[in-house]
Amino acid sequence: MRALPELLPSIELIHRANAASTAYTLSRLQVLERLAGNPIEVAYQIFEGGVALAAPGLPVSSFNTVVGLRQGQAHLVEPLALWSRAHGAKGRFEIAAGDDEPALGRALARIGFFQSEFHAALIGRADRPPEQGDDISVTRIKTAADMEDFLDAYVAGWSIPTEAQEQFKFNVRPWLEQSGWSLYLAREDGRPAGAAILFVHEGVGYFADAAVDPAFRGRGLHKALLSRRWRDARGAGVDFVCSGAAFLSASHRNMEASGMRLLFLKAIWTPLE
């Protein structure tokens, strides 16, 4: 573990946190890419510092986006937008504060994009996990049977439509075997109630996809899932932990309350049409 005592904001930390979240998203898409016939039509193009992602069979914005553009790369905007559209994506762009510059904004505006929202990226010291209450059970998934409980909590927490749940579960059962992934399940009264993922990438612990069944919200499960992943990330020897959330969302506030803090904002650029 490399000592980063105060985690002072820097372009290095921004790039490392961004790289961890991007590597996680790419890993998720690669699971789908391996399905027979690639039915989701997963495609990606890696460039210096980032990646363009497309998954037209899964209309989730974070899976159909360009992440990681940096200063001096305005010339890549139009080719990446064309690549995205050729692969069935609208060409959404995420640009991190610290990597932004007027040339990038002008290039995006010129081809019909506007800045539509902000996304928060948060960071925390690996050696300062919040306490977890003894009244909430959080376990790491290790068996196929436990994986089914995890998936039940996951689809409930993310409000995946009933008619899509079985196909979703079939598609993502390989998550249990993914390198760098740890899956967690929170139970309430013995019932699957919340799910979350820890992804470790190049010395960074990334907290992903935490969700709680609406029937169990407001009972501290989100905080318990965060605490357990934080402690396991510390045990894995990461330099720091990080995560992302919609700016000022409940997840953003929960992470700040648990000891994480805002590292940077991502500007989200979307097409006018």
Under 8 Å between Cβ of 44 and 51: yes
Q: With bands split at pLDDT 50, 70 and 90, how would you rate the model's confidence at 129?
A: confident
**Model pLDDT, residue 53:** 98
pTM of the model: 0.93
Query: What is the enclosing helix (H) or strand (E) of 162?
Result: helix 162-172
Tell the CATH topology of 127-238: Aminopeptidase (3.40.630)
| Domain map (residue ranges) of the chain | 11-120, 127-238
C-alpha 147/C-alpha 144 separation (Å) is: 5
Tens digit of pLDDT for each residue in 202-258?
999 999 999 999 999 988 899 899 999 999 999 999 999 999 988 998 889 988 998
- Alpha helices, DSSP H only, in 71-161? 77-86, 102-110, 144-157
C-alpha 41/C-alpha 242 separation (Å) is: 29
C-alpha 90/C-alpha 84 separation (Å) is: 6
Angle, helices 221-235/250-257, rounded to nearest 10 degrees: 50
